[in-house]
Amino acid sequence: MAFGRRQKDEGPRASLKELLPYLFVRRGLFAGAIVLSLIGAVTSLIQPLFVQEIIARVEQQSPLAWLPLLLVVFVLADALVSGFEHFLLQVIGENVVRGSRRRLVSRMLHLPIIEFDARRTGDLVSRVGSDTTLLRAVLTQGLVEAIGGTLTLVGAVIAMAIIDPMLLGVTVGVVAIAIVAMVVVMPLLSRATRRAQEQVGHLTSALERGISGIRTIRAAGASEQEISEIHSRTDDAYRAGIKVAQISAFVVPVAGLAMQLAFLAVLGLGGLRVASGDLAIAQLVAFLMFLFLMIMPLGQLFGAMSAVSQALGALGRIQEIVRLPSEAEVPAAAAQPSRQTDAAIEFVDVSFAYPEQVVHAKSTTSDEAAAEGAVSPKSVLRNVSFRVPRGSKIALVGPSGAGKSTSFALIERFYEPDTGSIHVDGGDVRSLSHEELRSRIGYVEQDARVLAGTIRDNLRIGRRGATEGDMLDVLERVNLAEIVDRADDGLDTQVGEGGVKLSGGQRQRLAIARALLAAPPILLLDESTSSLDSLNEMRMKEAIDAVAVGRTMLVIAHRLSTVVDSDAIIVLDEGQVCAVGSHDELLETSALYRSIASHQLLTN
Ligand SMILES: Nc1ncnc2c1ncn2[C@@H]1O[C@H](COP(=O)(O)OP(=O)(O)OP(=O)(O)O)[C@@H](O)[C@H]1O
């Protein structure tokens, strides 16, 4: 699958064309800033003309009248306009950051699950947190000023050409050399910035691992090792940052140097021309003022070019995610026709290998795998067929790695089967939208995630509009009412990062409660692998029995005690269904089941 493959080139690139939609999020404000910048250009350009006129009148001893006053008014107006423009640019910059974050997050949370399998969480987080902020610099570091500045530049060049074309020629010569140098440097800056941002991504990933695994790391006495790992990432980010600094350090003096050299050349040559009587003093002063007006926007232009180069580096990382197809946009194989059936869930000859494994096994798409009709040796599921009748409680059991959780992932359409089809209420899951499919099914993952926040927050994910009564009711049904009764804050009790403040059994039951709130007709329950004490195990069994009433349940059981009374038990081994039957039947017919059962009796 194209989205599963990594490009081997230097990394994501972005073009100027892709940057523009981000900058134009607030067109009105953007236009306002440009207008202010143009007004600023006019108020600046007028000043040398006044100065030239004032000097000329002083030389001729004519009255100055209101000229000095007007000059002061223009200077003040210039300052006022530039202050307001600066504020406006900051506001637009914040809008750009917000817009890019929203766009990135909306796409990120809709990506196919395979993308999350392949990527580091910390890296994704740093794209939202850090890369987006570099887009702001494009505006605050002078793009708009450079647009207004261009007017000043053009105006100044025209005025200089009128005053003395020869002096202008010298100035343009010096400036041209600086521009060529800048154009050469910009792509280097863009590349260095992208590398620096990648290093920040690696650093965030390492940090995320250190924080999320803090208990494991502490218990293993590996804190120092982890700290040194993160420090080394920090050093990499530092080195990449210094590279950016080295390249951009070239940008700043080039602008300054061009200005100084041009100034000295004009002063020397201009002085000679004044001495020879070819140029009046007032003209030379005005020329020098125009020279400043010309150089200033050039500095801004260089700053803007540098900021755009850096932004393009960061934008590449943003666009890499934004360009990915969302889960809904990934093409799936054609759906099988609906079938008349009493089955809530049906697997028909389903084979599946995780995409990276398919890539290694040289075919790259589900379609190709289907065309080959081959079950790859890497397949996690092979020709799996089973039925879950409506209203029944069916269990999936089997050794670790048999493919039980993978079957659930396929029902949820986190991945697409390579061959065969999966039907929910008779319809091929590929004929339903992801939302429609998932609205019919409640899914409690193995070692179910409890999200940081309160119990109420966790339950509201199940159903946004759930009332307090609904919530207490489901908590009661999964034997969790006591944790709410005991805590002072009731439903607003904080569960901690990942639910650390709850026991393993409580976490699982809270997850069941959450799924129940949505009242799905079908519930997939991937039992926690963590061992539960007998009281918790009994509570879990009661919870499962309570929620099974009136719905179809497919349970992956790690403890047979919770499913011995199921309508049927499906035994999976190495990706294949090796037996189906009731507990008593399987004890007779399946050696594998017998061994699991006897092992559990021994260990329990
Ligand atoms: N996201 C993934 N990417 C690649 N391979 C995976 C992924 N998830 C699972 N696998 C592989 O697929 C196989 C089946 O895993 P699965 O989680 O379905 O087993 P299981 O029967 O649920 O095991 P357990 O009882 O231990 O939970 C394993 O070999 C596993 O390594």
pTM (predicted TM-score): 0.74
Q: Which two tokens stand for residue 493?
A: 């009790």
Residue closest via CA to ligand 1's atom 8 equals: 406
State the fold for domain 9-327.
Answer: ABC transporter transmembrane region fold (1.20.1560)
- Rounded to whole angstroms, the maximal C-alpha distance in the chain is 121
pLDDT of residue 228: 93
pLDDT of residue 446: 79
Q: What is the ipTM of this complex?
A: 0.96
Find the range with the poorest average confidence among 120-124, 143-147, 419-423, 461-465.
143-147
| Distance from residue 575's CA to the centre of ligand 1 (Å) | 10
Rounded Cα gap, residues 375 and 381, in angstroms = 9
Indicate if the alpha-carbon torsion angle 276, 277, 281, 287 is positive or negative: negative
More confident residue, 226 or 547: 226
Find the range with the poorest average confidence among 265-269, 391-395, 480-484.
480-484
Residue closest via CA to ligand 1's atom 18 equals: 403
Q: Residue 278 has what DSSP assignment?
A: S
pLDDT category, 363, cuts 50, 70, 90?
very low
- Please check the confidence at residue 411 and state whether its pLDDT lies above 90: yes
Residue closest via CA to ligand 1's atom 3 equals: 354
Residue type, 230: I
More confident residue, 8 or 385: 385
Q: Say if ligand 1 is within 6 A of residue 354 CB.
A: yes
| Distance from residue 401's CA to the centre of ligand 1 (Å) | 5
Across 264-293, average pLDDT = 88
Rounded Cα gap, residues 376 and 379, in angstroms = 5
Q: What are the angstrom distances between the C-alpha of 51 and each of 148, 277, 281, 580?
A: 22, 20, 12, 97
| Distance from residue 536's CA to the centre of ligand 1 (Å) | 26
| Distance from residue 385's CA to the centre of ligand 1 (Å) | 18
| 78-81 contact pairs (CB < 8 A, 24+) | 78/40, 78/43, 78/44, 78/47, 81/36, 81/39, 81/40, 81/43
Looking from the CA of 160 toward its CB, the CA atoms found within 13 Å total 24
pLDDT category, 9, cuts 50, 70, 90?
very low
Across 425-448, average pLDDT = 87
Across 583-603, average pLDDT = 82
The residue written with tokens 């030379």 in the block is 284
More confident residue, 372 or 308: 308
pLDDT of residue 233: 93
pLDDT of residue 322: 92
Q: Residue 391 has what DSSP assignment?
A: T
Report pLDDT digits (tens) over 329-341.
988 888 888 888 8
Residue closest via CA to ligand 1's atom 6 equals: 354
Percentage of residues of the chain with pLDDT beyond 90: 25
Rounded Cα gap, residues 203 and 199, in angstroms = 6
| Distance from residue 352's CA to the centre of ligand 1 (Å) | 12
What are the structural domain ranges in the chain? Answer: 9-327, 343-603
Indicate if the alpha-carbon torsion angle 466, 468, 473, 477 is positive or negative: positive
- Please check the confidence at residue 410 and state whether its pLDDT lies above 50: yes
Q: What's the mean per-residue pLDDT of the chain?
A: 83
| Domain 343-603, architecture per CATH | 3-Layer(aba) Sandwich (3.40)
Across 211-230, average pLDDT = 86
pLDDT of residue 530: 60
Q: Are strands 552-556 and 381-389 parallel, antiparallel or unpaired?
A: unpaired
Strand partners, 569: 395, 581
Strand partners, 381: 352
Query: Contact at 8 Å (CB) between 580 and 570?
Result: yes
Report pLDDT digits (tens) over 147-162.
767 778 888 899 999 9
Taking 3-state DSSP, the helix, strand and coil percentages for the chain, each rounded to the nearest 5, stand at 65, 10, 25
Residue closest via CA to ligand 1's atom 26 equals: 400
pLDDT of residue 1: 36
Q: Say if ligand 1 is within 6 A of residue 360 CB.
A: no
Query: Contact at 8 Å (CB) between 491 and 455?
Result: yes
Find the range with the poorest average confidence among 80-94, 351-365, 556-570.
351-365
| Distance from residue 10's CA to the centre of ligand 1 (Å) | 32
Report pLDDT digits (tens) over 19-72.
888 877 778 888 888 888 888 888 888 888 888 888 888 988 888 888 889 889
Query: Contact at 8 Å (CB) between 238 and 202?
Result: no
Number of Cβ atoms within 10 Å of the Cβ of 556: 24
Q: Say if ligand 1 is within 6 A of residue 405 CB.
A: yes
pLDDT of residue 368: 47
Report pLDDT digits (tens) over 94-134.
988 999 999 999 999 999 998 998 888 888 998 998 889 88
Q: How many helices (H) and strands (E) does the chain have?
A: 22, 10
Strand partners, 579: 571
At 424 the three-state DSSP class reads: strand
More confident residue, 311 or 361: 311
Q: Say if ligand 1 is within 6 A of residue 117 CB.
A: yes
| Distance from residue 374's CA to the centre of ligand 1 (Å) | 20
pLDDT category, 357, cuts 50, 70, 90?
very low
| Distance from residue 584's CA to the centre of ligand 1 (Å) | 28
Q: Say if ligand 1 is within 6 A of residue 402 CB.
A: yes
Phi, psi of 103 (to 5 degrees): -60, -45
Q: Say if ligand 1 is within 6 A of residue 60 CB.
A: no
pLDDT category, 365, cuts 50, 70, 90?
very low
Q: Residue 494 has what DSSP assignment?
A: B
Rounded Cα gap, residues 138 and 152, in angstroms = 20
Report pLDDT digits (tens) over 244-268.
999 888 776 776 777 788 888 888 9
pLDDT of residue 227: 93
195-209, 443-457, 479-493, range with greatest mean pLDDT = 195-209
| Distance from residue 413's CA to the centre of ligand 1 (Å) | 15
- Among 115, 352, 354, 571, residue to substitute to test ligand 1 (most atoms within 8 Å of Cβ): 354
